[in-house]
Chain A
Amino acid sequence: MLSYILKRILSLLPVLFVVSVVIFLVVYLIPGGPATAMLGLEASAEQIAELNAQLGFDRPFLVQYVDWLAGVFHGDWGQSYFLDMPVLTAIAEYFGPTLSLAILAQVLSLIFAIPMGMLAAYKRGTAVDLATVSISLLGTAVPGFLLSMFLMLFFGVYLRWLPVAGYAPLEQGLWEHLRYLILPALSLGIVQAAYITRMTRSALLEVLYKNYIRTARAKGLRESAIMFGQALKNAAPTILTVVGQSFGSLVTGTIVTEVIFNIPGLGMLTMSSINQRDVFVIQGVVLFITVIYVLVNLVVDILYGLVDPRIQLGRK
């Protein structure tokens, strides 16, 4: 088991290497260095060239890359020119809001999605099923920014229940923290819930017509015991995969939602670093996202083993 986890983590290294080369190259090839963004509209070409030279961005690609890579092996991921802090510190700082938002959105989505998916599967073909499927299709189809705007206008501007945008860290109190996160979490959660509902429904449908369920019914087991004890448990790996993917996409930062609701998370950091050509931050964020994705998948794989004893990781 331990060696399996180690192997998985080691297999990350080549992936990270390739990703870092590609990102570095892309940032190198697109015109405009950090100096252009720093100096503004009326800066002269000489001023821009001068600052780029001072920052070391006029050197050949390989020199810049090797320099950066050497730093990474010493734990130095570079310095952000705009944030005026090391890249790792910046990522740590921006990850907090994203994590809070992801957890809240995921909890909200699961509260809706699992029961609805189960109900729809259990009542297959009825009006309940049809309604659930239609609503979840609508949820998948609505663009995230539209949903965000709608929630902001309705709950923020019209009803004035919640602030329209912004972020309060946990230190200012749990409620203050949540107050700012509810609308964006709802906006993200609804889209995720729609997807998870549909996947839960179809995973359960596959299981519900299996022989062992029929046997369980024949034995006279209660329906609730069949649903929770047998069907849900057997459908769990599929549902877990979906939830894992969903959490992976939430926790790596959602640019549109974070920008609309002004949440200083990874999505915002990604966008501003690209706009400002803050090359080391772009690098850092992309690598961090890659690591997080792989870790989330690893955790999901480990959880498979927990919910289904037949799956034994790392054994041939």
Chain B
Amino acid sequence: MKKRIAALLGTALLAGMMTACGGGSGETTAETTAAAAGGATEAAAETEAAPEETSYKSELNVAVAANPPSMDPHGINSNIVGSIGMHIYEPLFSLNENYEAVPVLAEGYTVSDDGLEYTITLRQGVKFHNGQEMKADDVVASMNLWLERCSKAELIKGSTFEKVDDYTVKMTVPEASSDIIMVLAAPIQFAAIYPQSVAEAAGPDGISEYIGTGPYELAEWKQDQYVKLTRFADYQSPEGESSGLVGAKPASTETIYFRVVTDNSTRIAGLQTGQYDIIEDLPLEYYEQLSSDPSLTMDVETGGTLNLFFNTTQGPLANQTLRQAVMAALNCDDIMLAAYGDPNLYMLDAGWCPPDDAVWGSDAGSEYYSQNDPEKAKELMEEAGYNGEPIVLVTTPDYSEMYNATLVVQEELKQAGFNAEVEQYDFSTFMEHRADPAQFDLFITSNSYNPLPVQLSVLSQAWAGLDAPEVAEGIAAIRGAATTEEASAAWDELQGFLYEYGAASVLGHYTGVYGLRTGVEGFDYLRYPIYWNVKVPE
């Protein structure tokens, strides 16, 4: 009897485990058949092709370093969400390779004489992944949701969208500015157009159905494993050559897998064996070693700036002269080398925008940048009456570049005579400290470029507490400028002010490295890696 009960219990336990096991992977059956079908069409295409032509794989494997926290680009400032999202959804306008705003789902627009009304016409015949046609109702619902949720839309706060007819919408803005369409085209937290029903059903944490008009549709999203995109058969590509995020999007490879591989060495091992065709966030310490491998190609893209932010409102650094002393002590070359490990992977420049940007590239304030002058720092400290109060640098080891840079800055400050202390926390805790001026004196973060300098975090009071009227005036001057030249000059002035006031300092410009198998074609980058042109030879 005893044995039978034990056996029964054992079987029950085992059965329970089996169902748990089965439940875990039951969804993949359909996927396998779909993949098989994809393989069949590919095979058919191959037989038609001439024998000497290269044949391409029907599946692209991209290893990404982070788990996308969502598939809703509106509300989340996350590169992985934006980058995958760009393949699924499309905005009204986006950027071409010259950083100009170009229509995507829009056909064109006209502006009223007072600059307050934008009449945007929509392309006709564009289908959502669910088969519905994209119309004005969808655009109005999505854009209103975006205005509410996107922090980058603060610039045009108070704007409204309304429907004129099925293929025309009217946008009303509270203030005229030359940058309105640029704001709509910004790639981070981009203004993806969803079907009206999806946009209207969105809860506090965003949409829950992932339907767009993009060249790929979301086939499957397995948390912690992969995001699988498949070519959207009814895709209506915008006209024109592929350029940045606009123009033709051929969806050259049938299926894209974004595989979530958080471990750095695993991502690299997978690239070396060909399990992944492309890996994102290649750890910089491997750059030199992997560059010498002929089977791999490294793609280096400048992505933003590493910045030092001061607490300008509380604590010892509320004193402007003392902030100037800190800036005098910095040697940015050493800081950037510690952060990025290889001189090929960073650039020293005082500008907050890409130095090659014709409009926004600026060297204003560069006399304050990377002075490496501890003697001057000591003099300024004395002038400011510094008495060895602790200067707290908060950081997080979760972002190694931010952490390493912080340690070097601490050392440089100590050498100049500051009592610099580092407090390190996990990312979430760091964010709490950073947001509260009572809990930091200095912090360093890496921030991606913004298409418009007025969207930079450094200008926002919520970021590091910066509270100076010159900032608001500067923003107004840039946005109200009649010509690009005037706007550019106004930004020069504002950037100069940031340095002079000691609000923050750029430490340098960083790059992101993508590892590709040699032979992979069509990889492109604009703010995000772009995969719709990518082809992988067999």
Interface residues, chain A, with chain B CB atoms under 8 Å away? 1-2, 5, 30-33, 36-48, 51, 54-55, 81-84, 89, 92-97, 99-100, 149, 152-153, 156-157, 160, 163-167, 169-172, 259-262, 264, 268-269, 272, 275-277, 295, 299, 302-303, 305-306
Contacts and interface: CB of A to CB of B under 8 A. Distances in A.
Contacts, number: 178
B29 A31 contact: no
B5 interface: yes
Interface string B136-167: 00000000000000010000000000000000
B70 A264 contact: no
Contact of B273 (A44, A84, A160, A276): A160
Given A96-B21, A99-B20, A305-B6, 12 more contacts: A1-B2, A30-B429, A32-B428, A32-B432, A40-B77, A40-B78, A41-B445, A82-B67, A95-B21, A99-B21, A166-B259, A275-B426
B69 A276 contact: yes
B447 A96 contact: no
B25 A42 contact: no
B98 interface: no
Contact of A43 (B77, B262, B425): B77
A40 B22 CA distance: 34
Contact of A302 (B9, B69, B75, B429): B9
A264 B222 contact: yes
Q: Which of A40, A100, A277 neighbours the largest number of chain B CB atoms within 10 Å of its CB? A: A40
A38 B69 contact: yes
A96 B25 contact: yes
A81 B266 contact: no
Contacts of B261: 165, 262
A149 to B, nearest CB: 7
B7 to A, nearest CB: 9
Nearest to A295: B13
Contacts of A153: 269
Interface of B: 1-3, 5-6, 9-10, 13, 17, 19-26, 28-29, 32, 67, 69-70, 75-78, 151, 204-205, 208, 222-225, 259-263, 265-266, 269-270, 272-273, 275, 425-429, 431-432, 435-436, 445, 447, 457, 460, 462-463
Q: Which of A38, A46, A89 neighbours the largest number of chain B CB atoms within 10 Å of its CB? A: A38
A261 B21 CA distance: 19
Contact of A299 (B9, B20, B69, B77): B9
A299 B17 CA distance: 14
B266 A44 contact: no
A165 B225 CA distance: 11
Contact of A1 (B5, B19, B222): B5
Given A1-B2, A41-B445, A55-B205, A169 B432 contact: no
A272 B223 CA distance: 10
B426 to A, nearest CB: 8
Contacts of B13: 295, 299
A96 B270 CA distance: 24
Contacts of B28: 169, 171-172
B266 A167 contact: no
Contacts of A171: 25-26, 28-29, 32
Contacts of A54: 204-205
Contacts of A89: 23
Given A36-B432, A100-B21, A305-B6, A82 B76 contact: no
B275 A47 contact: no
A211 to B, nearest CB: 29
Q: Which of B9, B21, B32, B151 neighbours the largest number of chain A CB atoms within 10 Å of its CB? A: B21
Nearest to B261: A262
A260 B263 contact: yes
B16 to A, nearest CB: 9
Nearest to B222: A264
Given A5-B9, A264-B222, A272-B67, A36 B431 contact: yes
B3 to A, nearest CB: 6
